[in-house]
Amino acid sequence: MASKYQLVDSKFYYDNSDVPVNKFDIKDAQTIHEIEKELLEEAYNIFFNELNEQTHFDEAYFVSLHKRTFESLYDWAGLYRDFNMTKGESRFCQGEFIKSSSRKIFEELKADNYLKEYASIPKSAFAKKLAYYKCELNALHPFYELNGRITRMFIDMIAAYNGYKFIDYSQISPKEYIDSAIECVQFADSTALEKIICNGLSK
């Protein structure tokens, strides 16, 4: 089984592959990656164009990013997992606590007015906040798959709302990126991610 995750009695990936079972029954990894890429690009355009003062970066919005981006491909788009999941040495939020932990994160974000007032605040302060919430969502890892992409899109939409470009992660290596996620999940430490976000954030 090539699956990266420990999944409880469900056939989530096709046998001997890491391609999730999908609505078109596509089993070729490269084809599925290309479709996911196209759907994500389309979603970036749609969600960017939809941004307005009424946009609240709340839990419903976060879940809708996952659902609307991938529902044409996957039945589980927009659904939280209820089983435990690990990656490498990292253990994400336990399945039974996803809903309550998610509520807590988004209550905090609401108290921060969904980070909607950072257009004229120093970039470093904004980067610190974005890293904090990205770290929390990394540790939550609420969806079956596509957590990285949807969490980045969520953070990108908050950046865009405040007049910034989407965050540029191209200057760091995949290892640096994963290491920063490991710090989040295993040590609740967002300092490495904060640096990455601060460097990748520009108007």
Between 5 and 56, CB nearer to ligand ATP: 5
Range 109-128, binding ligand ATP (CB under 6 A): none
Residues 109 and 178: their CA atoms lie apart, in Å, by 24
Residues 175 and 31: their CA atoms lie apart, in Å, by 25
Between 84 and 90, CB nearer to ligand ATP: 90
How many of the chain's residues bind ligand ATP (CB under 6 A)? 13
The number of helices, as runs of H, and strands, as runs of E, in the chain is 7, 2
Between 116 and 176, CB nearer to ligand ATP: 176
Range 6-65, binding ligand ATP (CB under 6 A): none
Q: How far is CA 38 from the centre of its chain?
A: 17
Between 182 and 198, CB nearer to ligand ATP: 182
Using the rule CB under 6 A, which residue among 22, 69, 138, 162 binds ligand ATP? 138
Using the rule CB under 6 A, which residue among 26, 112, 148, 160 binds ligand ATP? 148
Decide the pairing of beta strands 86-87 and 90-91: antiparallel
Residues 148 and 10: their CA atoms lie apart, in Å, by 22
CA atoms within 13 Å, Cβ hemisphere of 36: 19
In the complex, the residues that contact ligand ATP under the rule CB under 6 A are 87-88, 90, 138, 145-149, 178, 181-182, 185
